[in-house]
Structure formats: C-alpha cells, structure tokens
Amino acid sequence: MLANGATLRDYRSSLLSLVEASPSPSSISPDITKPRSEAIIGTTRSPYAQPNPPVTGGPTAIVDITSPSSGSAFSNNMGLIVAGIVVAISLCALAILVVHRRRRHTAAKPPPPVDFSVYHPVQDDMHPRSNPSRAKKRRPPVPTTPDQVELDATMAKLDVVRIDHRELIRDRLLGSGAFGEVWLATYRGRLVAVKSALLGRHPQNRLSDVQHLVDEIGLMSVFRSPYVVGLVGASWKRVGDLTCVMEYMDQGDLRDKLDATSFDTFTWPDKAQCMLSIVEGLVYVHSFDIIHRDLKSRNVLLDSTHGTKLTDFGIAREDTQDTMTMGVGTYRWMAPELLQDSHYTVAADMYSFGVLVSELDTHCIPYSDQANARGKPLADTTIMAQVMRGTLAPTFSTKCPEWVRDLGLRCVAHDPANRPTAMQVSLLLRQQIKALSYPI
C-alpha cells in the first residue's frame, strides 16, 4: 500500500511541475507551423482574461483531438469511400461504352436479305401460300431490265382476259413451228385452240418471244369480227407459261385444204367466198390502221360453221413509218418493200393477198413452178432478189378465170401505189359473185 501511495504522490508532483513549467499567457503567440494536433485545450488563455486561480488539487485534463488511433480510422474510411466511388464510376463508363459499341455494330451490319417469294408467292396449285419453305427454293427473279418492265406492264393489261389455267384440258397437238405450237383443248366444255410460244434459251430472247405473244393477245382482244378468229382468253401460271386461247376452227388452214382438194372438189364459187372472207378480214383489220404482215395460206383458218377467218397476228403492227427486220414472216408471200426492209403500209397486205389468189388458183406453193437455167427450183435467195427487183411475180394457171387473174396481178404490183385497197377488192368480189349468181 505504501509503495502504491508513494507512487501516486510522485505522479502528482510530476504533473504539478509540468503545469508550473507551462508558458505564461502573454508569452503565447500563434504558431502557424505547429500542427493543430499538438494544441492543448485549456492551456491557452485570452490576453484580456483574468489570471486563473492557482491549481490546488487534482490533475489537469489534457485532450488530444487527433489521437493517432482515431485519425487512422478516419483515413481508412475515407479511402474506402473514394475507392468505391471510383469503381462505381468506372463500371458505369464501361457499361456505356459497351452499349454504344453494340449499337454501332448493329447499325453497321446490313439487314438480312428478304425473300419476297415467301411473302408474295404465286397463288396456284403449284405454289400455295401456305408453303413458304417451297417458295424459298424458287430461283431468283431475272434482273429487272427496261424490256422486263415493259413486259410486266403489258401483262397487267391481260388480267381482263385472263382465264384459269386449271380449266384448260389439253387433248392433242394440232401443229408446231419454229416459234410456237398449237394444241386442241377443252375449256368449260368448249373446244378451243391453245397457242404457246417456244421460248429461246437466252433470257433476252425469252422476253422477246413472250412479248410477241402478249402483243398478239392484246391485239386480238380488241377485234370483234366474223372474219377474224376470236380470242377466248389468256392463261398462265407464270409469265413463261403464257398461252393464247382462241376459238377452234374445225377444218384446219387453207394450205391443208388446197393440198387435200383438186380443181373439181374445191371450185371457184367456194374459192370466191373464201377470197371475200379473207379480204373482209383485211378491211376490218386495216380500219384500225393495223398491218397483218404475215398473210399466207397457213394463217387462213376454215370452219364448217363459221366459214373462213384470219389468224396469227403475232407480227401484226400499226401502220406507221417503221421498217421491218429481214426474215420476219414468210418471204414467198411478202411484198418487195418488206423484203427490202423499207417503209411499208397496208398495201403490203394486199400484195400478200395477190399471192394467195394465185395459190387458190394453182393449189401450189408460190414460185414452186419456177426453175433456173439448169431446171432446178429457184433458190430462196434468188426468189427474194427477183421479187425485190420486180422481175418475178406469182403465176396463174390457164384455167384461172380472167377476172381472178387480173385481180391477182393488180394486187402483186411492184409499186404499192398501184395496188387496190382491201375495200376496193371487197366491192369487186361482191360484184363478181352477184354477176355469177353466187350467194353472198
């Protein structure tokens, strides 16, 4: 106990000596260089205050406002807060950067191609709208060209005469040529002739072939004449399947008729009626300023009920200043101006009619009786050259009526201005038929 008491007295004595050794208030001046952590609260006195009474007992409390332990904790807390803020800002910046890059990548990436055949397939039994997987396998469309655009616009005009292809039942092939074929078919219980184009291999040629058939259908849709084969309609699943559906003529064409008959079985009264029907067809067509350009015996059809009619307007054109490419049509019936590829008018059809008159007389193909110096048939080039020069014309038999020969020769005059018109020939034929007491 004494030891403890001595120790306590020693501690108090030391503390009092420290207080007494402290500087007086008047000697205290602020030291801006001294850290605030060393300031002792309670030892600084105001110069205007009265002196404190002397300390008489107990130790004086000394308070250090910035003890080492409290300062270290505060510094650690502040560091954590700052670090957290920095991390949060960094994460936000990183997220913004990622989103921005994704948006730029999406904008730069082109959209996937759209297969329009899936959304707008052909609606028929081969391409139902409910089967998009099949539509995707369809070949891509032909690149759009000015000709394709024109064809599409023309095809749209055929909608008014379009018939359902599923109602056409084909029976047999009636005939075929270099550019097309004709089938016998049934449409709603009626016999019809179905004409289709034989498409070329080159895409541009296919477009041209289809365009010719489209033009023919469009032209026939305007005609309403008992002397022109009537149009029933147009049918197609795709553009390349386009067909022209026409009335069926049950006796075939005039060329077959001439081959199957003789002078005795196909007499002039019947031939005169046939000639009148042909020229009446020309009168009607020419009233539209349309030139047939391919009038020949194969393009004159016969029927037991409906008589004689013109057909095949595939290369018919409006009467303009246009010229014609060499080789279009059948040259043995073609006028010199057509062979020369020069300007032509409806008079070109009258030349072809004159050739037809000679064909009705002889029952033979034009110029088949012509031979060269060696007795061989004339070559095609020789015939064309002589027709263009005016040194060769169709011939007539000795049995041909004079008025028929005269009419034929007038029609095949080399100068188009010297040929009669279709109306003039129609009047002449009616007069001759009346004079011969042939029924009209």
208 and 264 assigned to the same domain: no
In a domain, 274, yes or no: yes
Q: What does the alpha-carbon distance between residue 191 and residue 269 come to, in Å, rounded to a whole number? A: 29
**What is the crossing angle of helices 347-362 and 268-286, to 10°?**
170
Question: What is the spatial order of strands in the sheet that 243-247 belongs to?
Answer: 168-176, 180-187, 190-197, 243-247, 231-235
Same domain, 230 and 276: no
Whether 109 maps to a domain, the answer reads: no
| Structural domain contains residue 85 | no
pLDDT band per the 50, 70, 90 thresholds, residue 159: very high
The stretch 322-330 carries a mean pLDDT of 47
Q: Work out the angle between the directed axes of helices 402-411 and 422-435 (0-180°, nearest 10).
A: 180
| For the chain, percent of residues with pLDDT exceeding 90 | 49
What letter would DSSP give residue 114? Answer: P
Instruction: Identify whether 280 is part of a domain.
Output: yes
Domain boundary among 47, 66, 85: 66
Q: Which of 41, 66, 91 is the endpoint of a domain?
A: 66
Average pLDDT over residues 255-282: 96
% of the chain with per-residue pLDDT over 70: 64
Are residues 197 and 53 both part of a single domain? Answer: no
Q: Is residue 97 in some structural domain? A: no
Same domain, 242 and 262: no
Closest by Cα among 286, 312, 297 to 357: 297
Do 269 and 411 belong to one domain? yes
pLDDT at 269 over 60: yes
Domain of 344 in residue numbering reads as 254-435
pLDDT tens-place string over residues 12-66: 565 555 545 555 544 444 444 444 444 434 444 444 444 455 545 455 444 454 4
One domain for residues 282 and 397:
yes
- Per-residue pLDDT tens over the stretch 363-397: 999 999 999 999 999 988 899 999 999 999 999 99
What are the backbone angles phi and psi of residue 407, rounded to the nearest 5°? -65, -45
Residue 92 within any structural domain of the chain = no
- The position carrying tokens 């605030």 is 36
Considering the domain architecture, whether residues 313 and 380 belong to the same structural domain is answered as yes
Q: Are residues 316 and 376 in the same domain?
A: yes
Which tokens go with 364? 């033979």
Average pLDDT, the chain: 77
CB count within 10 Å of CB 7 equals 10
Do 259 and 213 lie in a common domain? no
Whether 388 is covered by a domain: the verdict is yes
> Are residues 375 and 233 part of one domain?
no
When divided into structural domains, the chain yields a total of 3
Same domain, yes or no: 277 and 369: yes
Least confident of 114-118, 147-151, 239-243: 114-118
Residues 286 and 321 both lie in one domain: yes
In this prediction, residue 150 carries a pLDDT of 64
Rounded-to-integer distance, Cα 104 and Cα 96, Å: 12
As annotated, the binding site for ATP includes 195
**Low-confidence winner among 73-87, 140-154, 335-349, 395-409 (lowest mean pLDDT):** 140-154
| Torsions phi, psi for 308 (to 5 deg) | -110, 135
Q: What is the CATH number of the domain that holds 160?
A: 3.30.200.20
The answer as to whether 115 is a domain residue is no
Q: Which of 14 and 177 is assigned the larger pLDDT? A: 177
The catalytic residues are 294
Q: Output the domain CATH number for residue 375.
A: 1.10.510.10
Q: Which residues are annotated as a binding site?
A: 195
Residue finishing a domain among 247, 271, 304: 247
